[in-house]
Structure 1
């Protein structure tokens, strides 16, 4: 069983994430912390495989938390689960060795995918003492495979039309319905392309509050990737 702790100061978000993690076979949430120092002290005396870590935390922020883990040589893996989507935080987290970076809000399938990829890596590292190249490729190419899956069936001209529209409306959030009306494409088609653009970091997605039924999403082009 892969042991997990959640470091999150929003109780509602923590409860949802705990439910998500425990629903994936092979994972068990051991503790939930709303203060990062308490979580760090727990890790100093308890072996935990994986930490779900927010950036904005009381006590010390997530970036400092990562630094302290490395200084103390605490061997636990980290998935960032945070609203921080600026380049500086993402770059620093990746350089610190996080295994994934999830931007709030996200859907259950996204965190499930992250956990399943991690479990495959976790099991592979414990099942073998020596690796061949194919094993290493399995460890490091999961996101590339997902990218190929998302891109399958997409057409460059359609992608260019949608991306150009988003670039020209960079200051405003829009939803798939508005895009469908403006571009004369079906909402299903629009969402497939938006999912791809979000995965590649060119579009930012946020939850649209106040919607009836299933939650809706708003999209805006990522200013950081505009030349």
Structure 2
């Protein structure tokens, strides 16, 4: 799970962030702070993956906090959620590498989109190398080179899923025994988290590439077993 820090001086907005965050089981709240100064002191001694950050706050603004984090080499991704939409502030924050920028007021769906974008970035750069296709997905506004030869069409993958991650989980599923494999087993083989593997396995089941059933013969708590189907491999 991605450890997340919220920095927001408005208690109502901070609670809203927590509520939206709690709906996504890929994230867990590490700490929440009412100003950038307290957040900076904490982040100097603790690690986190993502910071959801306001700009206008007492003691230290979100812009100053992000500048301080970058200056001290504290690597944390940031999603800005703020009323600050003047071009100077937006430009400064974009140059500091924020993952997404939401202007208040915002819809729950837009907040979720920002979380999905962050996860897409993280999954893409978790590999040893990144393909041009994956880079284009990260930078959808990048124009294609007019002289470039278009790559062969690849099977479409739903938003929020990565083709390379899906292929890896397919491969692990092919290696499943006749008894099938649990989500935890495939997670161990693939190197991805159980939460990530479960999302991809659910997709494969929905696409008819795999089947799942509950195994009650564990001697304890029942577990879900997954089996590959064509085009992965037959169950014969």
Task: Please give the range of the TM-score, normalised by the shorter of the 2 chains.
Answer: 0.5 to 0.7
1-side partners of 2:142 and 2:57: how far apart?
Answer: 28
1-side partners of 2:52 and 2:35: how far apart?
Answer: 13
SS at match of 1:18: helix
The residue number in structure 1 matching 2:64 is: 64
Deviations along 1:180-210, whole A, 9 cap, x unmatched? xxxxxxxxxxxxxxxxxxxxxxxxxxxxxxx
**1:111 corresponds to 2:101:** no
SS at match of 1:56: coil
The residue number in structure 1 matching 2:32 is: 32
TM superposition score normalised by structure 1: 0.60
Counting only pairs closer than 5 Å after superposition, residues 121-136 of structure 1 correspond to structure 2 as 121-126=121-126, 128-136=127-135
2-side partners of 1:23 and 1:125: how far apart?
Answer: 25
Deviations along 1:88-142, whole A, 9 cap, x unmatched? 111111111111110001010000011011111112212x101221121122228
1-side partners of 2:142 and 2:30: how far apart?
Answer: 27
The residue number in structure 2 matching 1:54 is: 54
The runs of at least 4 consecutive aligned structure 1 residues that moved more than 6 Å come to none
SS at match of 1:45: coil
2-side partners of 1:43 and 1:143: how far apart?
Answer: 33
2-side partners of 1:67 and 1:119: how far apart?
Answer: 23
Counting only pairs closer than 5 Å after superposition, residues 75-224 of structure 1 correspond to structure 2 as 75-126=75-126, 128-141=127-140
2-side partners of 1:3 and 1:42: how far apart?
Answer: 13
1-side partners of 2:128 and 2:121: how far apart?
Answer: 14
CA distance change for structure 1 residues 120 and 70 in 2, over 3 Å: closer, same or farther? same
**1:12 corresponds to 2:12:** yes
Deviations along 1:153-199, whole A, 9 cap, x unmatched? xxxxxxxxxxxxxxxxxxxxxxxxxxxxxxxxxxxxxxxxxxxxxxx
2-side partners of 1:142 and 1:15: how far apart?
Answer: 33
The residue number in structure 1 matching 2:3 is: 3
Whose helix proportion is higher, 1 or 2?
A: 1
SS at match of 2:4: strand
SS at match of 2:129: coil
Q: Which runs of 5+ in 2 are unaligned?
A: 144-236
CA distance change for structure 1 residues 110 and 142 in 2, over 3 Å: closer, same or farther? farther
TM superposition score normalised by structure 2: 0.58
2-side partners of 1:74 and 1:48: how far apart?
Answer: 10
Tell me the CA shift for residue 25 of structure 1. 2.9
